[in-house]
Structure 1
Amino acid sequence: MRRATKRGVCIVTGQTGEAGWRRFVVYWGPVVGYAGLIFYLSAQSHPDEDLPSLLGNVNDKVLHALEYAGLGGLCYRAFRWGTSRSMATHALFFSILTASLYGVTDEVHQLFVPLRESSWQDWLADATGSVLGAVAVRWLSAMSWTAPFLTGARPR
């Protein structure tokens, strides 16, 4: 990876100029946006009132796992195609680690939200979802029909 001090070099992708920043936004923008959505939902004192009634009586742990499966999948996509080659080779590890650690910060955040509680079981569901999401995106990326969507490459 190139030095961050060099003008016009994207720190994450290691590419120079506009292409490096465009690549950063395409792959990391969804991760940041999704993490922001998780933060917003965690900041709600009554999340059951804000969520649509379509969810019915779905178990809280299942919702945590689904929520973090999305984050784990987006993190895998970003680490695999939005970083340097050396990071991309370990994309599965880094995506699970990042999404799981974000789950820890989310549980700590909920300690300070009125009427919310934090638990290690919620974090375990978050981590499980992170693993499932990252592995699912890795598996889907091996299929040729999903590659353009996941990698951002234009179909031929």
Structure 2
Amino acid sequence: VLPRVMEKLEKMGVPKSIVSFVVPTGYSFNLDGSALYQAMAALFIAQMYNIDLSIGTQLTLVFVLMLTSKGMAAVPGVSFVVLLATLGTVGIPPEGLAFIAGIDRIMDMMRSVVNVTGNTLASLVIAKWEGVLDSDQLDEFMSTEGKKDQIKSA
């Protein structure tokens, strides 16, 4: 996905200097989808075991998961391992992961979509912030790609 996202962003009018820095960095440090999934999965497991987590514990859990997601490798299934290591720190039985193991592979694909979307949006925002986003090229790209999608679906 990395080369295709970078190619599309350059076609959208984001300079190569921004794309070649933001997107690869985002693949290492901007794993929003993984952090969100892990937090929701941990809360789901806690509710399933009828464990009442205080707001402080929930915030600690989210903070720890945000930090651990920053160093995760972009390897399928690694989020599951990080979640396994984190659950015990807040008193949630790690055995609860067995209940979500069956859907983890599907959810991994959804996490990837959120991660890629975040990296793409970050590139567009930084280019706009720096005043180097070619708005005309972006408008042309959006209208051209929309027409291509309409033709493919017809």
TM-score (norm. length: structure 2): 0.31
TM-score (norm. length: structure 1): 0.31
Higher RCO structure, 1 or 2 (CA under 8 Å, sep 6+): 2
- Return the structure number with greater helix share: 2
